[in-house]
Chains A and B, each alone.
Chain A
């Protein structure tokens, strides 16, 4: 059990290191000199060299990487080219809003996905099952940025029930858990929840169908166990895999919110990223991607660590 925990923790280190190498290299695969944006057009060769030295771009790549990594570990992700402000501060402010949106979306997506998947798996090959399957395949196939626009057309433009963009009244970006603010999160959260709902429903349906066809279920029914009791057994067997799929989808929600945040002008990391792309602000792009990817690694680690609690088989190995 303890070896399992240690194994998982040790395994994360090289992955996190690899993620930071990738993010570091992002600036270097970009065409052109990373300094063109800050360098005056008429800079002389000496001025250019001085600038390069000031930013540390004159050193070999591995040295640059170590310096960059050291700074990143100390919480310094460099400064945004467009605003000149520290990237770390900008990203941290935005990450909070992205997490709120991802949390709301996962609440909707996971609960409905598990519920639908369970019903479909239990009533396999009935019209109920086919309806749920159709719904989940629609959820997986729909481009969610388009769904967002459609929902805005229906609920904001035509019906006027919900606000179409922003994260609070008067364009405020400070989130509060009250009705006025919740009205703003409904459309983006529903839009974002559709894909994970489809995937979770699909997985849970297959799992439930699988478990129900196993011999031990027949044995339980034969010894006279009621429907509720059998369902409890099914749930315990389905839980571990469901948990890992849910964890993976939670990570995808963090990344997938980029397009949705752009559609709804939600002031999170996606909004930051689209600004960074638009202004070719590479340090901001790099910092945001790094933080989001490390979050994803962290969520996966968390799922791995929680896994033994729902799956006693792991403890024994």
Chain B
């Protein structure tokens, strides 16, 4: 009997992984027909390539500059995008700055995605006291506007890249947990999950096959929409002096140190913000495209 039950589940699992491969291919095909999402996705890939390969594309040193070359305008020979308040090459600082800003945008969401999904699926599937405890703690974190929570934790821990990562991860765990919990709770009571359980599937199998299969796509779409928030928050923390420390280039920090230059060369002073803006715009448009391609509702 147990043998037959196992084979049925094996067959069911194969069918599901088969159909889920088809699902992702379908999503990608729908995404390809969306010119805006494709353009944004390409731009983000280009930016990622630029920041990853920054040391090998012939850029100048982003940290050392020369004081006699201070605040050269955009288009200066040798400095295509000009120089900053300490005479450092802006192009190079913008590319290197993107490394930290993008890292601080993507990693916290990634960490929170793993932790939040685990917590939410557990709370939703286990129910009872576990659910109450986890979800009430989540409620408390929801009582803080995200920027306030990030500043509170970073402010207590002090400035630094690791502390920023920690505080932003904590900011994004509660919302992801909440989404994961509500989807899991609704999937758990579906009849085919009951059927799987009755035919001998253990909790781990049910979670892996049925729950995660249903939970992952809404959470994934939600997480992509959080990356732009995370990047803006991370740059905001640096802007306040709570994130990356000078002379390390980072877009938010550059925006802060260049504030004194707005009277001399407003264009140079605005450049790091333009980068944050364009990247976050692309991330948002891509996330919108994914949302409709995956047919996920808000």
Q: Within B128-185, which residues are at the interface with A (CB < 8 Å)?
A: 136-137, 139-141, 143-148, 151-153, 155-158
User: Is A53 interfacial (CB 8 A cutoff)?
Assistant: no
Bound CA–CA A49/B233 (angstroms): 40
User: Is B56 interfacial (CB 8 A cutoff)?
Assistant: no
Choose among A21, A254, A258 the residue with the greatest number of B CB atoms under 10 Å from its CB. A258
User: Is B87 interfacial (CB 8 A cutoff)?
Assistant: no
User: Is A118 interfacial (CB 8 A cutoff)?
Assistant: no
| CB–CB B139/A145 < 8 A | no
Chain A residues whose CB sits within 8 angstroms of the CB of B241 once the complex forms: 274, 277-278
| CB–CB B240/A277 < 8 A | yes
Q: Within B79-124, which residues are at the interface with A (CB < 8 Å)?
A: none
Q: Is the interface of A mostly helix, strand, loop or mixed?
A: helix
| CB–CB A157/B155 < 8 A | no
Bound CA–CA A251/B146 (angstroms): 10
| CB–CB B284/A141 < 8 A | yes
Interface 9-mer from B70-78, B214-222, B272-280:
B272-280
User: Is A314 interfacial (CB 8 A cutoff)?
Assistant: no
Interface 9-mer from A22-30, A70-78, A121-129, A220-228:
A22-30
User: Is B262 interfacial (CB 8 A cutoff)?
Assistant: yes
User: Is B285 interfacial (CB 8 A cutoff)?
Assistant: yes
| CB–CB B263/A157 < 8 A | yes
| CB–CB B235/A143 < 8 A | yes
Known contacts A29-B156, A137-B281: does B139 contact A259 (CB below 8 Å)? no
Bound CA–CA A150/B148 (angstroms): 24
| CB–CB B144/A293 < 8 A | yes
Known contacts A157-B266, A258-B147, A296-B145: does B140 contact A22 (CB below 8 Å)? yes
| CB–CB B285/A145 < 8 A | no
Interface string of B26-56 (1 = CB under 8 A from A): 0000000000000000000000000000000
Chain B residues whose CB sits within 8 angstroms of the CB of A15 once the complex forms: 139-140, 143
Q: Give min CB distance, B229 to chain A, whole Å.
A: 9
**CB-based closest 3 A-B pairs:** A255-B145, A146-B273, A18-B140
Q: Interface on A for B, CB 8 Å cutoff?
A: 14-16, 18-19, 21-23, 26-27, 29-31, 137-138, 140-143, 145-147, 149-150, 152-153, 157-158, 206, 251-252, 254-256, 258-259, 262, 273-274, 276-278, 280, 282, 285, 289, 292-293, 296-297, 300
Give 18 A-B pairs besides A26-B155, A206-B298 with Cβ atoms closer than 8 angstroms.
Answer: A18-B139, A18-B140, A26-B152, A29-B156, A30-B157, A31-B157, A137-B288, A141-B280, A142-B280, A146-B272, A146-B273, A149-B269, A153-B262, A157-B262, A255-B144, A278-B241, A292-B148, A296-B144
